[in-house]
Structure 1
Amino acid sequence: MQPCDLTAVEARRLIGARALSATELLESCIARIEAVDPAVNAVVARDFDRARATAKAADAATMRGDDLPPLHGLPLGIKDLLMTEGLASTMGSLLFKDNVPAKDDFLVARLRCAGANVIGKTNTPEFGAGANTRNAVYGATGNPFDPKKSCAGSSGGAAVALAAGMMPLCQGSDTGGSLRNPAAFCGIVGFRPTPGMVPAGARGMGWSGLPVLGPMARTVADAALLLSAMASDDAYDPLATTIHGKTVREPTDVYPLRPIDLSRLRVAVTPDFGFAPTEKHIRAVFAEKLGLFRSAFAVAEDASPDCSGTDEVFEILRATIFVGTHAEKVATTPDKVGPNVRANVEEGLRYSAQDVARAMTAQTAIYRRWQTFFERFDVILAPAITISPRSWRELYPAEIDGKPTRTYFHWLAMAYAVTVVGHPAVSLPVGLDRNGMPFGLQIVGPRGGDAKVLRVAAALEALLAGDPRTARPVPDVAALAKAPPIREMEGFLGFD
C-alpha cells in the first residue's frame, strides 16, 4: 500500500506519531495524480509547489512537538466552486476561466487553519449545474471504474480523486445530491449535512437550505474527521443557528464517532421514496444488497414518508436560486453559458410569485410529514441514485427504463427527496451493481441527526467490509495509469 492509499485517520495518526511525514504523504499523492489523472481528469488546477512548502512547514511543526491541528499534513482537494487564493477558481465557466482569487473562501481558510494542505481543485460541471461532470473549461471527468462512463456530479472530480487514491480528503457541495451522487457512482463516502452545520458564507441566497457544503472521503470515519473541521457557528451563514455566547457545534459532536448498536434500530426501506424514477436494475441490486444485512436491524420495514409534490417543489425552488444567481449572465453573455444553466434560468423566469409561495408552502407540508414518519423510524435506507453509470457523452439521462424524465435533473430524485426537507444523509459504498459499477446506499437520518447518520454508516461499513459483495470497491489504479488520456475521447471539451 502506498501512503496515498491510507485512510485520512490512519495517515494523521502516523504523522502525529512521526512514522510518516506530511511530505512523504504529499509526494505519494502527487505521484498518483500524475500517474492516473490523465485517464480521468479529476484534478484540474494544481498547487503542488505551495503544497510542498506547506508540507515542509507541517513536518517542522511535528518535529518541534507543536500542538498539531486535526487535519495536520493531510492533502485536501477543493471543489472548483469555492475560491482559493492564488489558485484558478473557474466554477467550470468560460466567464471565469482566467479567475485567480486574491482571497480564500471562508471554508477553505478554515480548513487550512485546521492543518489541511490544499493540493488542487477538483472538476465540476459549470456552476455545479447538473450531475455529469463536464464543462467547456476543463472538459469531462471519467469514472475511475470506466473512464468512458459518468462519475456523476457535481462533486465528480472530488469523488474520482478519492476513489483513485489521489488524496485522502475532499470538500464537496450538495443541492440535488452533488455529494451523494458521485459518491455512489465512484464507490466513496459523501455526506450531506444539515443546512447551517457547515457555514457557507459565500452563498448568494443565504436563507435557502437547498445547497450545503460537506465532506467527501473513502471511509465514514474520514468523512466525520473532515466534517469536524468544517462545522462551526458562523454569523455570515444565516442558517448557522447560534445561541448567543454559546458554541452550538463542537467538533466532538461528530468525531470521533461513538459506536451504535444496529440491532436496536428501526429502519425504513424504500427503493424510490414513492416517486423517484428508479431503474429496475437498481431496484433489484438494492433488494439483493439489503437481503445480505437486513437482519442486522431490530426492524427493517418497507415504508416511505409521503413525498407527494417533491418534484414540483424542488424544480421551482431550484430554478429560483438559478434566477437569483445566474439570470444576468444568461441575459448578457448567453454564448458563454451552458445549456443546463440556461434551462434553469429560463424555467425560473416563467414562475410567478404565486408559484414560489405554493412551492414553499408545499415544502413545509412535506417536511412536517417527514417529522411524523421519523416518530416510527431511526433512519431510512434507500439507493443513493436512480441509475447505474452511463456514458458521460450523455449530458443527462433523458429516459429511464424507456420512460422520459421530467427534467435534466429528474434522475436525481432519490437525492433531492432528502434535500427538500433538509435532513442529513450519506452515500455509503456497498459493493458493485450488476454492471460492475459501484453501488451507493443512502442512509437518511432524522432532523439534526448528523452524528446518528454517520454512526449508523460507520457500523454498517464495518459489518459489510468483510464480504466482497458489500465491501467498498476499489478501481484498478494500474489499469488507469496505462489507459489513454480522456482528453483524446470525442466530445471531451464542452457540452455537445
Structure 2
Amino acid sequence: MDDAKTVGLPARQVLAAFARGELTPSAYLEACLSRISRVNPFINALTAFDTERAVAEAAQAGARWRAGSPRGPLDGLPLGVKDLQDTAGLLTTHGSPRAKANLPASDLPMVARLRAAGAIVLAKTNVPELGAGGNTRNPVWGATGNPFNPALTVGGSSGGSAAALAADLLPICTGSDTGGSLRLPAAICGIVGYRPSVDVVAHPTRPLGWSGISVLGPMARDVDDLILMLRSVHWAHRNDPLSVSYPADRFDNLADRPLHGLRLGYCEDFGGAPVDPDIRATFLKRIEKIAPKVAECRPVDMSLGAMDRVFDILRAEGFLTAFDGPVRETPDLFGPTIHANVDLGRTFTLADRGWAHAEQTRILRAFNARMQGLDAILLPTVPVTPFPWSEPHVAQIDGTEMDIYYRWLALTYRGSLSGGPAITLPAGRDGAGMPFGLQMLGALRGDDELLAVARTMEAFLEQDPETARPRPDLSRLRAVTPDLRSIVTHPPVLHPPRPGADPTVRTAV
C-alpha cells in the first residue's frame, strides 16, 4: 500500500487494517511522518512534535494488536492536539510568547481520555495567539496556510487541526469552539468540525465553569471518524458543572435517518448577518439540490434576538477573567489582539452581564420554537471565501463594515448561543474554487439526532461531484512569500456597542 493511499484512509479503516494485520501502527505512523515531512513545510499546520515517544508507542500498539488485545478503540492511531490544550511533556505554547517554553506536567482531561483509548499524541496543531481570532497566526509559530492555497487563511482557532486533516497529515485532531473555532476552519479546509452541546465533552479547565460558551470537540475528515473519536471523549467531570454523565454507548448505534424522511429548515444569513453574494448563491444551490429529496425543507427566520451584543459580552467576560491579571502584569508578552479583547471586557458592567445572560436565555427559547418539527436547520458556515492569511481579519462583507474584528464569524457564533450541537460538512466548492461548508444546527442535547442527520446528509452530498468533499492538490503546493512563519501584527478593530444603540446594527468603523 503506497503512502498517499495509506494516509488518506479513514481512521476507522486504518484501525480495521490493524485488526486484520494488514497494516501496523508503526508502518502507518511512518507513512504519516513521511507525508508531514513533505507537506507541513508548505502549510505549517503542525508545530511541536513528540516523535520519539510516538514511535515507541506505535511499536507497543502493534504488539497489542498482534496479541489481539488493543488498549482501546483508537489504539495506535496518531493524533494532533490543538496547541491550546495541555499535553504532558510536549510543548504547549497557546501561540503566545508567554508560554513558548511551557511543558505541561499532565494532559488536558480530554487528551488523557484519547490516550487511554490508545491514540498516540504525535504533534500539536497551530492556533492564533491564545485562540483569539479566526485567522491561525501567532508570534511563536507563525501562520498556517490553507492546503488548497497556502497564501490563504485556514480560519481559526482550530486552524492547524483543520489543515492537517485536509492534507492527510493525521487521521484525527482535537479542537475547541467558542464562536466557531471548530466549524470555521473545518469549512474553510473541507473537513468535518463538530461543536457538541455544552454537556457532552467535559471541560474542567474552563475559567468560567458555569458558562457554556466555550466547548471542546473532535475534528475529522468524515462524520463516522468524528463519531469514532467522540465515543472516547464524551464524559462528565466533577470540575465541569455543565457536563452530564451519559451512557457509555450513547454514540455507538445512532438511528438510521433516511434522507426522504428528514424535515429541515434553512436560513442563508442567520437573521441578517452579512454574507458575500457568491457564498449566498452557493448555499442556495445546495438547498435546491437537497429540497426535492427530503420530506420538508423550508425557510426559517433566525432573527432570535440581540445575538451579536450577547456574544460580545459573554466572550469578553471570559477573556477578562482569563487574561486581565496577566496582561496588567506583563503587557509586553501579549499581542494587540489580546490587549484589545481585554480592553473590551473592561468596558462592560455587571448590568451588561446580567442583561446578556437573560437575553441568551430568550435566544435559546426563540431557537427552540424555530426547531419545532425540524430535524436540523441548515446555514452557510462561513460568509466569505478564504482571504489571504496576511490580512488579520475580514473588514467588509457585501458593503457592510465589520464593527468588531470577529464580526465576520456571526454565522457560527450566533449558533453557539443556544448551547446546542452544530456541525459543518464539506459541500463542494464556492465560486472561487475553495471549500464550501454546510452548517447544521440541532436542538440542545440533541447530539445523537444531529449526528445521525449529518451522516445521512454527508452520504447524499458525496454522491454528487459538485457537492462532494473537495480534496486539495498537494502536488501543486509551492512556498509562499513572505514565509508562513513570519507575520505582521495589526491591532484589531474592537469597538464596544454604543449604549442605547440597537446591538444588532453594525456601524462603520
TM range (shorter): over 0.9
Give 1:130's aligned amino acid.
G
CA 1:390–1:283 in structure 2 vs 1: closer, same or farther (change >3 Å)?
same
Shift of 1:302: 0.9
Q: Which residue of 2 aligns with 1:245?
A: none
Q: Which residue of 2 aligns with 1:237?
A: 240
Q: Which residue of 2 aligns with 1:484?
A: 479
The SS at the match of 2:57 is helix
Of 191, 194, 199, the match for 2:197: 194
The SS at the match of 2:239 is coil
Shift of 1:224: 0.6
Q: Which residue of 2 aligns with 1:19?
A: 22
Q: Are the aligned partners of 2:146 and 2:163 in contact in 1 as well (CA < 8 Å)? A: yes
Shift of 1:293: 2.1
Q: TM-score, normalised by structure 2?
A: 0.93
Instruction: Kindly provide the CA deviation profile for residues 304-349 of structure 1, in whole angstroms up to 9, marking residues without a partner as x.
Output: 3332200000001100000000111221222221222111110110
Partners of 2:302 and 2:445 lie apart in 1 by: 17
Partners of 1:47 and 1:152 lie apart in 2 by: 25
1:66-465 matches, cutoff 5 A: 66-242=69-245, 248-250=246-248, 252-465=249-462
Q: Which runs of 5+ in 2 are unaligned?
A: 491-509
Q: Alignment length, in residue pairs?
A: 487
Q: Which runs of 5+ in 1 are unaligned?
A: 243-247
The SS at the match of 1:16 is helix
Of 16, 39, 43, the match for 1:40: 43
The SS at the match of 2:107 is coil
Q: Are the aligned partners of 2:379 and 2:438 in contact in 1 as well (CA < 8 Å)? A: yes
Q: TM-score, normalised by structure 1?
A: 0.96
Partners of 1:322 and 1:107 lie apart in 2 by: 22
Partners of 1:398 and 1:303 lie apart in 2 by: 28
Shift of 1:487: 6.4
Q: Which residue of 2 aligns with 1:493?
A: 487
Shift of 1:436: 0.6
CA RMSD across the alignment: 1.4
Shift of 1:196: 2.2
Q: Are the aligned partners of 2:14 and 2:23 in contact in 1 as well (CA < 8 Å)? A: yes
Dislocated runs of 4+, deviation >4 Å: none
Partners of 2:232 and 2:446 lie apart in 1 by: 18
Q: Are the aligned partners of 1:307 and 1:366 in contact in 2 as well (CA < 8 Å)? A: yes
Shift of 1:208: 0.9
Q: Are the aligned partners of 1:221 and 1:257 in contact in 2 as well (CA < 8 Å)? A: no
Q: Which residue of 1 aligns with 2:493?
A: none
Give 1:227's aligned amino acid.
L
Shift of 1:275: 2.5
Shift of 1:394: 1.0
> Which deviates the most, 309-318 or 10-19?
10-19
Partners of 2:122 and 2:44 lie apart in 1 by: 15
Shift of 1:256: 4.5
Instruction: Kindly provide the CA deviation profile for residues 271-327 of structure 1, in whole angstroms up to 9, marking residues without a partner as x.
Output: 111132211111011011221222121110011333220000000110000000011
Q: Are the aligned partners of 1:111 and 1:230 in contact in 2 as well (CA < 8 Å)? A: yes
Shift of 1:241: 2.7
Partners of 2:42 and 2:335 lie apart in 1 by: 24
The SS at the match of 1:27 is helix
Partners of 1:494 and 1:93 lie apart in 2 by: 15
Q: Are the aligned partners of 2:178 and 2:413 in contact in 1 as well (CA < 8 Å)? A: yes
Q: Are the aligned partners of 1:142 and 1:486 in contact in 2 as well (CA < 8 Å)? A: no
Instruction: Kindly provide the CA deviation profile for residues 190-233 of structure 1, in whole angstroms up to 9, marking residues without a partner as x.
Output: 00000121111111111110000000000000001101111012
Q: Are the aligned partners of 2:199 and 2:445 in contact in 1 as well (CA < 8 Å)? A: no
Partners of 1:190 and 1:487 lie apart in 2 by: 29
> Which deviates the most, 255-264 or 359-368?
255-264
Shift of 1:406: 2.2
Instruction: Kindly provide the CA deviation profile for residues 261-280 of structure 1, in whole angstroms up to 9, marking residues without a partner as x.
Output: 12222111101111322111
Q: Which residue of 1 aligns with 2:63?
A: 60
CA 1:78–1:487 in structure 2 vs 1: closer, same or farther (change >3 Å)?
farther
